[in-house]
Homo-oligomer: A and B are copies of this chain.
């Protein structure tokens, strides 16, 4: 039976003398209040949104400017201290989990909006600026920043860059990587480099795209230039019901196949709508096996045409009921259920575990059937919420951490879902990153040669592996221990998992 957890090998404890050396070196370059090391100060940094794993760091630093970041990294390099960067700590894959004898570098105080250029439609911001704060700052110009992760009230642009965050509108407007033009980065050597620029293309290797989504392993961002886009004049959303999840899944594929790129295309199963409706009162049909939310935005004529075409496709696909939002208030009401699905899970289960994998859209129905079988196998319920348009699944596995073994079963259930995604030709993360959570599944997704390519690029930036080590890219040793086969091209060489 394979029971290897994603949990890191226990990190080395540290001596008080070593901590003192590091703290003194950091205090020599940072104001005193920017260096935290007492347990009551470091406790808030012990975990991120994947709260099942927690680890107190030796020290937390809160640099106030780029010069501080440079100074901190030089200290860390000189003393061989490992660094875990952290934005708002809302990440769901454990990417900001501290290391016992390492420091956490929080970008929370690098929170200035440096410049807004309405003419070029760009904003230059520091990494600690909250995602939503960018859109708020430019709202009066009729502009906004498109990527909208569920955590957008709290999460920061630096964290978004680290995880290549998405959101419900990324099918049409892209992920973070599609909306960031330039980053300013401090390397572990203390050099400042700029990756990307304002042009559509750039000479040299496209290191901006490598950096976005690199989960803090290549450098520390000190400035980000983001694209701003005009707010659409109108947005309307269709709420459609289906008496069969397979029909709902096929409807998603048919909308895309009809040549439509909806502004949002979400699916929820009956477990999810029944979980959320009593709480949010979004108007969902709780007798439907699945509901779809299909949004169109743009100029009014375009929206009307697209809504009409999507309505027709949904009817042909067997929708049993269709409602179209008649005004902005109703549009927001229809979305409110989807947007509150995660908090609603807390009403029916003590704990939940949000999974994040992708699949080819046409395999949606099969994947749902697979998850249903796993519910029986693991003895746990699962509510299915999907960014269906881009094939990004967010199954919520419901469990009770106080019941012996339930968390471990939930972990194995999640791992099996991700590995099924790979077996169906998909991937182990759509937008939450690999972090610590999915590090074993990287062994299933990639071949040894592909992993070597990742590791060699990591070493090119950080030869001593001081920056967020042991996250996102597994060592070959870890993969050997995990012992599962690399699966490729949707071939079903799906390994057996333990049964309970």
Contact = CB atoms under 8 A, between A and B. Distances in A.
A132 B175 CA distance: 29
Interface in A195-248: 195, 197-210, 212-214, 230
A164 B433 CA distance: 27
B449 A187 contact: yes
A206 B210 contact: yes
A434 B198 CA distance: 18
Given A120-B360, A206-B213, A253-B119, A201 B430 contact: yes
Nearest to A304: B301
B428 A203 contact: yes
Given A201-B429, A204-B473, A210 B213 contact: no
Nearest to A209: B209
Interface in A401-458: 425-431, 433-434, 438, 441-442, 445-447, 449-450, 452-454, 456-458
A391 B197 CA distance: 13
Given A302-B299, A457-B460, A203 B429 contact: yes
Nearest to A260: B230
A329 interface: no
B191 A454 contact: no
A208 B207 CA distance: 11
Given A209-B209, A450-B194, A454-B207, A202 B257 contact: no
Contacts of A446: 204
Nearest to A215: B205
Contacts of A118: 257
Nearest to A451: B204
A204 to B, nearest CB: 5
A166 B203 contact: no
A478 to B, nearest CB: 14
Interface string A32-63: 00000000000000000000000000000000
A319 interface: no
B305 A201 contact: no
A389 to B, nearest CB: 9
A108 interface: no
B198 A425 contact: yes
A378 interface: no
A64 interface: no
A358 B201 contact: yes
Contact of A430 (B192, B199, B434): B199
Nearest to A194: B450
B205 A166 contact: no
Contact of A204 (B142, B177, B425, B450): B450
B212 A200 contact: no
A106 interface: no
A482 B166 CA distance: 43
Given A203-B441, A203-B442, A210-B457, 19 more contacts: A177-B206, A187-B453, A191-B449, A191-B452, A195-B453, A197-B427, A199-B426, A199-B427, A199-B430, A200-B392, A201-B392, A204-B434, A204-B473, A205-B457, A205-B473, A206-B210, A207-B210, A456-B460, A457-B457
20 contacts: A119-B257, A164-B201, A175-B201, A192-B449, A195-B450, A199-B427, A200-B392, A201-B392, A201-B431, A202-B429, A203-B438, A204-B445, A204-B472, A205-B214, A206-B209, A301-B301, A302-B302, A453-B460, A457-B457, A459-B460
